[in-house]
Amino acid sequence: MASPKRYDRIAFVASASAEAQAALAELVRLYGNHDPDTAEILVAIGGDGLMLETLHRYMRTRKPIYGMHRGTVGFLMNEFSTHDLHGRLAAARETLINPLLMRATDIHDQVHLHHAINEVYLFRQTYQAAHVRILIDEHERMAELIADGILVATPAGSTAYNLSAQGPILPINAALLALTPISAFRPRRWRGALLPNTAFVVIEVLEGGKRPVAAVADHDEVRDVRRVEVLSDKSISMRMLFDPGHSLEERILREQFGH
């Protein structure tokens, strides 16, 4: 059995809140602080927003990222403690996350590429409902969905916007994506679909001039889209670390039982 990995060169990043900044100062005093380029591991101090920002910024580095909760929402974070950080990092369990790649084409034929850790979603820009066509792996699956919008969520993002839209919670290691309508009007009873994470999802906007639609990949927004392509980007694997017994798998399982 391999010995636990010890991380000596730690880079700390923190949100701007007073609580996170105070925690940062104490951790830096105890453990030092390395530049992210030369560090072996990144420790993010804050909430889920800070974790998503850190994952986006360092997603291509392959460096493990360990979150410590000092924010509002901490679903992606571990409990905060200054005690024996080296030991906690060595004992932490790794979860690999593949982001979604969104390729959005707007009405001016401009192409926009963005990654999403949680979800890609489309939503109506005006009071009028969006009309969209859905294709999976180049086969039409729904000729017209009339709704406020639609989203594609990863397992990591299935407990975020997807859950609020009544979408399913996915185990973190499930090779699935959730396709979930947002306030569907027609077909009224359609609740979405579970797709393999190899699926190539295309959403075409119908009547875009009359019913404009925007697309968002986590926090990157594109207005007036006419076609959005979404797939899981297997070329990028982000390494998230969680304390034993507090893994993302366990948190998602607890969420399904209302805890």
Question: Is 48 a known active-site residue?
Answer: yes
Q: Is residue 73 a contact partner of residue 192, using CB atoms and an 8 Å limit?
A: no
Catalytic residue selected from 48, 106, 137, 218: 48
Q: Which helix (H) or strand (E) holds 65?
A: strand 65-69
Backbone angles phi and psi of 112, in degrees to 5: -120, 125
The secondary structure of residue 7, as a DSSP letter, is -
Q: What is the DSSP string of 187-227?
A: STT---EEEETT--EEEEEESTTTS-EEEEETTEEE-SEEE
Residue 130 in tokens: 């969006």
Instruction: Report d(CA 194, CA 66) in Å as an integer.
Output: 29
- Specify the amino acid at residue 204: E
Contacts with 17 (C-beta within 8 Å, 6 or more apart), sequence order: 46, 70, 71
Contact between 259 and 252 (Cβ < 8 Å): no
Distance of alpha carbon 240 from alpha carbon 248, whole angstroms: 9
Q: Which long-range CB contacts under 8 A does 249-253 form with residues at least 24 apart?
A: 249/95, 249/171, 249/172, 249/173, 251/75, 251/159, 252/155, 252/158, 252/159, 252/169, 252/170, 252/171, 252/172, 253/171
Q: For residue 105, how many other CB atoms are within 10 A of its CB?
A: 18
Q: Which residues are catalytic?
A: 48
